[in-house]
A and B are shown apart, each in its own frame.
Chain A
Amino acid sequence: MNRIRIVDNKIVDYDQANHLFINDYNRYSSLSFNQDTIFIYINANMEIELDLEYNYKAQDIIMVLDGNSHLKLFVHNTGTNKHGQIKYIILDNCKLVVNSFGNTKIVDEKIELLLNGVNVKIEYHFSTISHDNQLYNINIHHNNQQTYSNIINHGIALDKAKLQFNVNGYIAKGNSKSNLNQRNKIIVLGANQSIINPNLYIDENDVEAKHSAVIGRFSHRDLFYLKSRGIDEEMAIKLMAKGFLLAIIDIPSKKREEIIKSINAHWE
Chain B
Amino acid sequence: MAPLLSLRNLSVEIDDKQILNNLNIDINPNEIHVVMGPNGVGKSTLSKVIMGSDECKIVSGEIIYQGKNINQMSVEERSRKGIFLAMQSPIEIEGVANSEFLKVALNSKSDKHIGLYDFIKKIEKAIDDLKMNENMIHRSINKGFSGGEKKKNEILQMKILEPKMIILDEIDSGLDVDSLKIVGQNIKDYYKHNNQQASLLIITHYPRLLKYIKPDFVHIMLDGQIVKTGDYKLASVIEKKGYDFVKEELK
Taking Cβ atoms with an 8 Å cutoff, the residues of A that contact B are 220-222, 224-233, 235, 239-240, 242-248
Q: How large is the interface on B (under 10, 10 to 19, 20 to 34, 35 or more residues)?
A: 20 to 34
A-contacting residues, B21-57, CB 8 Å: 51-55
What are 30 A-B residue pairs whose CB atoms fall within 8 Å in the complex?
Answer: A220-B54, A221-B91, A222-B93, A224-B51, A224-B54, A224-B55, A225-B93, A226-B105, A227-B75, A227-B79, A228-B51, A228-B76, A228-B79, A228-B85, A229-B79, A229-B101, A230-B79, A230-B109, A232-B76, A232-B108, A235-B104, A240-B93, A242-B95, A243-B95, A243-B96, A244-B95, A246-B95, A247-B94, A247-B95, A247-B140
**A225 and B96 in contact (CB under 8 A), knowing A235-B104, A247-B140?**
no
| Interchain pairs with CB closer than 8 A, number | 78
Name, among A228, A231, A244, the residue most crowded by chain B CB atoms within 10 Å (CB to CB): A228
Minimum CB–CB distance from A59 to chain B (whole Å) comes to 30
Name, among A233, A239, A245, the residue most crowded by chain B CB atoms within 10 Å (CB to CB): A239
Using Cβ atoms and an 8 Å threshold, which residues of chain B touch A229? 79, 101-102, 105, 108, 157, 161
Which of B75, B84, B91 is close to A222, meaning CB atoms less than 8 Å apart?
B91
Establish whether residues B108 and A231, one from each chain, have CB atoms under 8 Å apart when the complex forms.
Answer: yes
Q: Which of chain A's residues has its CB closest to B167's CB?
A: A228
Using Cβ atoms and an 8 Å threshold, which residues of chain B touch A225? 87, 90-91, 93
Name, among A222, A230, A243, the residue most crowded by chain B CB atoms within 10 Å (CB to CB): A230
Indicate if B80 sits at the interface (CB-CB under 8 A): yes
Indicate if B74 sits at the interface (CB-CB under 8 A): yes
Which of A235, A240, A244 is close to B108, meaning CB atoms less than 8 Å apart?
A235
Minimum CB–CB distance from B105 to chain A (whole Å) comes to 4
Indicate if B216 sits at the interface (CB-CB under 8 A): no
Indicate if B100 sits at the interface (CB-CB under 8 A): yes
A233 to B55, CA, bound (A): 16
A221 to B54, CA, bound (A): 10
A244 to B95, CA, bound (A): 6
Q: Which of chain A's residues has its CB closest to B109's CB?
A: A230
Establish whether residues B108 and A230, one from each chain, have CB atoms under 8 Å apart when the complex forms.
Answer: yes
Establish whether residues A243 and B140, one from each chain, have CB atoms under 8 Å apart when the complex forms.
Answer: yes
Further 9 A-B residue pairs, CB within 8 A, beyond A230-B80, A240-B96:
A224-B55, A224-B75, A227-B76, A229-B79, A229-B157, A230-B108, A240-B93, A242-B96, A244-B95
A231 to B102, CA, bound (A): 10
Using Cβ atoms and an 8 Å threshold, which residues of chain A touch B51? 224, 228
Establish whether residues A230 and B105, one from each chain, have CB atoms under 8 Å apart when the complex forms.
Answer: yes
Using Cβ atoms and an 8 Å threshold, which residues of chain A touch B101? 226, 229, 231, 239
A242 to B91, CA, bound (A): 17
Minimum CB–CB distance from B204 to chain A (whole Å) comes to 19
- Cβ-closest 5 pairs across A and B: A243-B95, A247-B95, A243-B96, A230-B79, A227-B75
